[in-house]
Amino acid sequence: MHQEPALAPDAEWIDRSDALQSWLAMLPADATLGFDTEFMRRNTFYPQLALLQLGWQGRYALVDPLAFGIGDALHPLIGDGDATTVMHSASEDLEALSPLLPHGPRRLFDTQIAAAFVGMGLGISYRALVAELTGAELDKGETRSDWLQRPLTGSQRAYATLDVVYLKPVHEQLAERLDQRGRTAWHAEDCERLKQRACHREGDPQPQRTFRSAADWRPEQRALLRRILLWRDQTARTEDRPRPWLLEDATALGLAQQPPGSANDLEQRTRGQRALRAPQRQALLDLLRRPVDADEVAATAAIPESPQGEAKRALAAMKDLVDKRATELDLPAGLLCPRKALEEYVVTAQWPEFLEGWRREVLHEGLSGLLP
């Protein structure tokens, strides 16, 4: 298909609350609304919302969240109402919006998830999806732009507008294909799961579980690693700085394995950590000096080991079953059941939360019979 360069239509620039309320007031209660954001996350823990793009029936708006609070205007239609909010790969956008829409849009239609359900591959980009379904070629020249600058350039505004222009035809085609395949309910379930995951702002209470290299450590060392990681997460949130700026993963592992013998030792081993200043370093030192007690060990979940022996053979059989079911359902295997979920199941024998819902109906009977 010949691809024509896309030209951006005019979009209203909105930097006042009354203007946004007026724009939204013209939409019907059950509107299908194209929705996107631009945000920055270079040196902060939380994403900084920089722009909101809206599109409905050929009308487009660029909303400046730096000029006024936009949350109250969004709630009636999007957060609590019957509008369908169409977004592409929405997880990070939802995280950026979570201070304004804590539970996300009430009705979310994620076009990337929909594309996976209708045979267009897992994780397709918006640019590729638009090209495939409409023949338009989107310019991605502003992908790494500074969206916090004001005023935005003409190129930035055009780029941002185009991100919602094609959501309407893309949504219409994908919704029809989902219906034809009988996948509408599955897609809605995955969109709801995406909302819950993206809007969950509390940290992981057992962050050590992702560090498999520590699976065979002594229980006291694993408990200390958990303590360090929980401190890093909470401090990163409080200081609004990326976690690695406080402690790189390798540094956290090293401190848990061999705690520093002195303040000078800690300073030497954490040199170069950009957000670890004197107050944070002292707090970390105090934390490392506190003994690990039996209660803390008991509260620390075990770290799943890599499958070995019978478990490894069972994992291979499970992977074959998932591949077969994915082929039968014409779904990407990674959408049906990621390898990480299989590894968790074969090691713990506990059905993973990710595989609840429609995936349990499709997979549970077959996979449970393969447990070692």
Across the range 139-160, mean pLDDT stands at 89
Global confidence as pTM: 0.91
Average pLDDT over residues 308-331: 96
Q: What is the pLDDT of residues 334-355, one digit of tens each?
A: 999 999 999 989 998 999 999 9
Q: What is the mean pLDDT of residues 184-194?
A: 97
List the alpha helices (DSSP H) in the chain: 17-25, 71-74, 91-97, 111-117, 126-134, 154-165, 167-181, 184-198, 219-239, 243-246, 249-257, 263-269, 278-289, 294-299, 310-329, 333-336, 339-348, 358-368
Q: What is the mean pLDDT of residues 142-146?
A: 82
Residue type, 138: L
Residue range 156-178, pLDDT digits in tens: 999 999 999 999 999 999 999 99
* Digit-coded pLDDT (tens) for 200-248: 777 899 999 999 999 999 999 999 999 999 999 999 999 999 999 999 9
Give the pLDDT confidence score for residue 1 in this predicted structure.
Answer: 43
Confidence class for position 2, pLDDT limits 50, 70, 90: very low
